[in-house]
Chains A and B, each alone.
Chain A
């Protein structure tokens, strides 16, 4: 409930770090690129899940903050010579500020209106990235140098891999702590019932705004990770299809669960590889297949793959469940209707 990490969570974070340092010696460069992309997606998806899965806010501005992270880090680091970590921090602050800014009006909106308003914000942001020539390079895109962190050069996928893994491990750890904190529980309470949350003393609007800001910071961190193994950014990759990819990861894996989201990232992330390997490469159908999977997942497994897996475990009879069911003394209202 309250407090520190469980053993399994600690092992999970440790596994990410170990993989981060070991895999570059074991895998060819191409797989490391895919790995870097997946870890970046994981940070993005965890941040999006804070809004969608935890606080139940269907807000779709996430990719805009990802863009702020990429452009912010790239411009500060590559053009102005600010050290990488400072660039990443500054970008996170800018994204967090922008998150607060749209959080205030967005916290008053619900359902479709919230989705539309945040989606419109993301479209505006993409337009700014594409047209603000002197800063973002406009539609030509922006080329940037590989960051150097305390003398460590991250130019190749192999060199970037451990750093991206450290970023992912930090984000996962922070999210695990958040899940156990009062703030995390308040997010879930808002998702389940704003009335109950409010009547229990939770400032619903305040928590929503805070969630927007934290989620934006996570997206910006993902953007900073992206600059470690890429050398070029163009506004075209910051569009709606990117949002659909991340959203699919969250929904397929299982929202409001870190393990579920990570599972979704791996499953959806490898999908293009599988499609490519099919006879007559099905890769051109990628968007279509994502859409179909998304719809199927929502209809057939609303709790995602992880939810399905957990249900299987829960279906096995456990001892303390049975004892609760069998002791009649603790049932005060024996005649309840279903």
Chain B
């Protein structure tokens, strides 16, 4: 049986810099799999290869019976993979609701701008209903018509997540969902992730620096350092792993 999601021998160089080197990992269906490592370890590059913003020179990324490297960036969400962004990329001049509607793009039929059809009207009404349900779920309903750029930081983070959920992915890539949040907000994100994973049967890949969050939600952790995998295992195993303590926690303690 082939894995739900598998990266094999991924290699990505930017000019002379090797960002990811011969990296392989598998993700089990229904799990929350964290990808951790010091700054510059290549975590975001792995995500960008999966969402096809980067063209890796080597390897394959297998999901749902196909190699994602054969697809273009905008086809990834239709393949079943959604993502959030580390640096708060939002549609800042569009409303919260519009952001979520954009997230639903692949679930509304193709356009003929001046040809209304009952089928399309139904699909659009359904998209609107779904979007509002997602806003409800992420507690953003009250900000439905606010411009995304006018939300405060915490809500912008939530909106990023809401938009990604709207694509109804089977695999969700979260790039530092807790970065910049305060403790109370982190515990909210924590609860939300567990709830979502359960209620939607989501598989989640998580890049995160906030260790308490990683340790409490992840089923499995992969550790990257200088573009290479140095350890993989359950949170308890990773916490005790000497190489991880040296490369990650150690370097962080000195920083």
Question: A335–B153 Cα gap in the complex (Å)?
Answer: 10
Contact B94–A188 (Cβ < 8 Å): yes
Q: Is the CB of B153 within 8 A of A196?
A: no
B185 interface residue (CB < 8 Å to A):
yes
**Contact of A336 with B113 at beta-carbon distance under 8 Å, contacts A185-B101, A192-B91 already known:** no
Contact status A333-B158, CB under 8 Å: yes
Chain B neighbourhood of A3, CB < 8 A: 116
Give residues of chain A (32-81) contacting chain B, Cβ–Cβ below 8 Å.
none
- A177 proximal to B (CB < 8 A): yes
Contacts A189-B102, A200-B163, A337-B182 given: A330-B139 contact, CB under 8 Å?
yes
A199 and B76 contacting across the interface, CB-CB below 8 Å? yes
**A200 near B124 (CB under 8 angstroms)?**
no
Is the pair A338, B152 in contact by a Cβ cutoff of 8 Å?
yes
- Beta-carbon contacts under 8 Å, A285-338 to B: 324, 327, 330-338
- Determine whether A191 belongs to the interface, using a CB cutoff of 8 Å to chain B: yes
A-B CB pair tally, cutoff 8 Å: 132
Interface hub of A193, A256, A334, A335 (most chain B Cβ within 10 A):
A193
The stretch from A84-92, A144-152, A157-165, A201-209 touching chain B is A201-209
CB < 8 Å neighbour of A201 from B74, B111, B143: B74
B156 CB → nearest A CB, Å:
9
Q: Count residues of A near B (Cβ-Cβ below 8 Å).
A: 40
> In the complex where A189-B102, A332-B188, A336-B185 touch, is A199 in contact with B158 (Cβ < 8 A)?
no
Of the listed residues A2, A181, A197, A334, the one surrounded by the most CB atoms of chain B closer than 10 A to its CB is A2
| A1 CB within 8 Å of chain B | yes
* B184 in contact with A189 (CB, 8 Å): no
In contact, A192 and B77 (Cβ under 8 angstroms): no
Which residues of chain A are within 8 angstroms of B188 by Cβ–Cβ distance?
332-333
Q: How far is the CA of A331 from the CA of B91 in the complex (A)?
A: 21
State in angstroms the CA–CA spacing of A332 and B182 once bound together: 12
> How many angstroms between the C-alpha atoms of A203 and B76 in the bound complex?
11
Contact A196 B93, CB 8 Å, known A330-B141, A336-B153 = no
| B 75-96 contacts with A by CB, 8 A | 75-78, 82-83, 85, 89-94
Cβ A196 vs Cβ B154 within 8 A: no
Known A201-B167, A202-B105, A336-B154: A196·B184 in contact at CB below 8 Å: no
For the complex, is A186 an interface residue (Cβ under 8 Å from B)?
yes
B93 adjacent to A191 (CB under 8 Å): yes
- Please give me the residue from chain A that is nearest to B78 by CB atom: A201
- B133 adjacent to chain A (CB < 8 Å): no
A174 to B114, CA, bound (A): 8
A–B Cβ pairs within 8 angstroms, 10 of them: A177-B114, A182-B111, A193-B89, A196-B89, A199-B74, A199-B77, A200-B105, A200-B163, A201-B77, A338-B153
Q: A200-B74, A200-B105, A324-B146 are in contact. List 15 more A-B contacts (CB 8 A).
A: A2-B124, A2-B128, A177-B114, A182-B105, A192-B93, A196-B102, A197-B91, A198-B53, A200-B77, A200-B163, A201-B78, A201-B105, A324-B143, A333-B181, A336-B154
